[in-house]
Amino acid sequence: MNDRDDNQPAGYVPPRVWTQKNNHGGAFGSSNRPVSGATFERTLPVGEHPLQLYSQGTPNGQKVTIMLEELLAAGHCGAEYDAWLIDIFKGDQFGSGFTAVNPNSKIPALVDRSTGDITQVFESGSILVYLAEKFGAFLPTEHRARTETFNWLMWQVGTAPFVGGGLGHFYAYAPFKIEYAIDRYAMEVKRQLHVLDTHLARHEFLAGDQYTIADMAVWPWQPGSLYGVYNTHEFLNVEEYGHLLRWYRAIAARPAVARGRIVNRTAGAPGEFLRERHNATDLDAMFP
Q: Are residues 124 and 160 in the same domain?
A: no
pLDDT digits 0-9 by tens, 179-209:
999 999 999 999 999 999 999 999 999 999 9
Q: Which of 70-74, 169-173, 221-225 has the highest mean pLDDT?
A: 70-74
pLDDT at 255: 97
CATH of the domain at 191: 1.20.1050.10
Q: Are residues 124 and 203 in the same domain?
A: no
- Residue 15 domain-assigned? no
Q: How many domains does the chain have?
A: 2
- Residue 155 domain-assigned? yes
Q: Are residues 132 and 187 in the same domain?
A: no
- Residue 274 domain-assigned? no
- Residue 248 domain-assigned? yes
- Residue 276 domain-assigned? no
Q: Are residues 95 and 168 in the same domain?
A: no
pLDDT at 263: 98
pLDDT beyond 90 at 145: yes
The conformation of residue 120, written as its DSSP 8-state character, comes to E
Q: Are residues 210 and 150 in the same domain?
A: yes
Query: How do 51-55 and 81-85 pair as beta strands?
Result: parallel
pTM of the model: 0.93
Average pLDDT over residues 229-247: 90
- Residue 260 domain-assigned? no
Confidence of residue 230 (pLDDT cuts 50, 70, 90): confident
Q: Which domain holds residue 167?
A: 143-253
d(CA 173, CA 178): 11
pLDDT beyond 70 at 281: yes
Name the residue among 159, 154, 236, 170 with its Cα closest to residue 192. 159
pLDDT at 30: 63
Q: Are residues 82 and 173 in the same domain?
A: no
d(CA 199, CA 141): 22
CATH of the domain at 97: 3.40.30.10
Confidence of residue 92 (pLDDT cuts 50, 70, 90): very high
pLDDT at 2: 45
How many CA atoms, within 13 angstroms, populate the side-chain half-sphere of residue 113?
12
- Residue 40 domain-assigned? no
- Residue 161 domain-assigned? yes
pLDDT digits 0-9 by tens, 43-88:
999 999 999 999 999 999 999 999 999 999 999 999 999 999 999 9
Contact assessment for residue 268 and residue 262, using Cβ atoms and an 8 Å cutoff = yes
Q: Are residues 122 and 157 in the same domain?
A: no
Confidence of residue 1 (pLDDT cuts 50, 70, 90): very low
Q: Are residues 153 and 127 in the same domain?
A: no
pLDDT beyond 80 at 24: no
Residue 36 amino acid letter: S
Q: Are residues 131 and 218 in the same domain?
A: no
- Where do the H-state alpha helices sit in the chain? 59-73, 96-101, 124-135, 143-168, 179-200, 213-218, 224-227, 242-252, 255-260, 280-284
Residue 249 amino acid letter: R
For Cα atoms 98, 102, 103, give the angle at the middle one, nearest 5 degrees: 100
Confidence of residue 244 (pLDDT cuts 50, 70, 90): very high
Measured between its terminal Cα atoms, the distance across the chain in Å is 64
pLDDT at 5: 62
Average pLDDT over residues 257-262: 97
Question: With pLDDT > 70 as the criterion, what percentage of the chain qualifies?
Answer: 93
